[in-house]
């Protein structure tokens, strides 16, 4: 899985197209574009696609295209929404590699050279990612060395994604081999909130997957106003969207029936555990009706919910005398969650 870093031939500069869909994010565009055109070791082309913004986004995009010869700006005549805008841009890409970068996100210095270097050294790898630093105001530029690469067979990575539940890849840190993107197709209109997750699975079914271990690969802006609602209706929407993405992927895959069944069971256990964990953590601070709604979702999504450790913890926590069972299950879950986070942060799965 972990591979040593190979040195690429001097002077080789892979060509990367960075698509920047934008809707009313004109005030973020300059920083986003600068993070791309300042990349070293690669040749970059930036395509800003304004989705009929009502602010000055397109004017900013045009000014950036005049400032940088490798930047071009186009505009949808009507608002098409993010999925159609993504697909419009992806269908036009002819470079070696492609990145889909939201106008409010940034690439980390050197990220494109690292990602394309991995794919140049491993031709079977079609999707590369790394750690995305989340930020609100300004990212913190770190100087962590490139430690090593991880490379997985696509099916191995897919199984890891089903075990994790949450998407392993957020989005701005992903670099895709363009030929694989065109073979896989583009984003699905019926997955407006979980299309990225289904896309990573679809890509991984056609290629190996690589990961840069060490430095940040992108900076992912977190907007306080757009963060998931702490009420269960927000959590439930996210869980259902992910469930839909997993099911859509499995429906279209060529996996054997038994393999689909195994992945389905894994996904159902994970989503049920997440719902129950949310309910346990919200005890005493949230309307009890929402806690039981979370429990109902767990029962619906996973017929074997009674065998889940999280179910035992939920039952103990909601009993009149929680006792040692609840304490032990809470300790166990915290340890498991820390291990899962450490695996994702250090090794990417």
Residues 237 and 294 in one domain: yes
For residue 229, what pLDDT is reported? 46
Residue 243 CA to residue 204 CA, distance in Å, equals: 18
Residues 85 and 213 in one domain: yes
Residues 144 and 14 in one domain: yes
For residue 231, what pLDDT is reported? 67
Residue 246 CA to residue 251 CA, distance in Å, equals: 9
212 close to 112: Cβ distance less than 8 angstroms: no
For residue 223, what pLDDT is reported? 78
Residue 194 CA to residue 285 CA, distance in Å, equals: 29
Residue 7 CA to residue 332 CA, distance in Å, equals: 43
Structure tokens at 179: 């030929």
Check whether 321 has a pLDDT greater than 70. Answer: no
Residue 288 CA to residue 272 CA, distance in Å, equals: 18
Assigned domain for 1 exists: no
Residues 40 and 99 in one domain: yes
Per-residue pLDDT tens for 9-67?
Answer: 556 799 999 999 999 999 999 999 999 999 999 999 999 999 999 999 999 999 999 99
Residues 56 and 91 in one domain: yes
Assigned domain for 284 exists: yes
Q: State the total domains in the chain.
A: 2
In sequence order, what are the beta bridge partners of 19? Answer: 47, 100
15 close to 46: Cβ distance less than 8 angstroms: no
The whole domain housing 140 covers 7-226
Using the Cα atoms of residue 297, residue 341, residue 148 and residue 220 in order, give the sign of their dihedral. positive
Alpha helices in 55-213 (DSSP H): 57-67, 82-90, 111-121, 154-164, 178-184, 195-204
Neighbour tally for 238: CB within 10 Å: 16
């Amino acid at each position: 899985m972990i591979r040593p870093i190979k040195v690429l031939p001097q002077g080789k500069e892979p060509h990367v197209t960075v698509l920047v869909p934008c809707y009313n994010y004109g005030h973020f565009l300059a920083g986003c574009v600068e993070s791309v055109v300042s990349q070293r070791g690669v040749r970059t082309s930036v395509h800003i696609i304004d989705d009929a913004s009502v602010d000055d986004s397109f004017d900013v995009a045009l000014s950036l295209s005049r400032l940088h010869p490798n930047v071009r700006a186009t505009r949808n005549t009507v608002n098409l929404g993010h999925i159609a805008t993504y697909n419009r841009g992806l269908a036009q890409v002819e470079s070696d590699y492609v990145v889909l970068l939201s106008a409010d996100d940034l690439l980390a210095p050197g990220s494109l050279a690292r990602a394309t270097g991995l794919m140049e050294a491993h031709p079977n790898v079609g999707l590369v990612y790394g750690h995305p630093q989340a930020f609100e105001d300004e990212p913190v530029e770190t100087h962590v060395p490139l430690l090593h690469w991880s490379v997985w067979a696509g099916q191995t990575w897919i199984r890891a994604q089903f075990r994790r539940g949450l998407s392993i890849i957020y989005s701005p840190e992903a670099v895709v081999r363009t030929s694989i993107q065109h073979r896989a197709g583009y984003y699905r209109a019926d997955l407006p909130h979980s299309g990225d997750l289904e896309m990573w699975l679809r890509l991984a079914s056609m290629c190996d997957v690589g990961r840069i271990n060490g430095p940040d690969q992108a900076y992912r802006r977190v907007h306080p106003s757009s963060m998931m609602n702490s009420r269960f209706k927000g959590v439930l929407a996210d869980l259902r969207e992910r469930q839909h993405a997993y099911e859509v992927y499995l429906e279209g895959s060529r996996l054997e029936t038994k393999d689909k069944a195994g992945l389905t069971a894994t996904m159902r256990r994970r989503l049920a555990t997440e719902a129950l964990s949310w309910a346990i953590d919200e005890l005493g601070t949230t309307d009890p009706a929402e806690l039981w709604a979370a429990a109902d979702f767990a029962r619906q999504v996973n017929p074997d919910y009674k065998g889940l450790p999280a179910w035992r913890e939920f039952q103990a926590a909601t009993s009149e005398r929680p006792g040692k069972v609840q304490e032990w299950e809470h300790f166990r879950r915290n340890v498991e969650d820390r291990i899962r986070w450490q695996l994702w942060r250090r090794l990417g799965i």
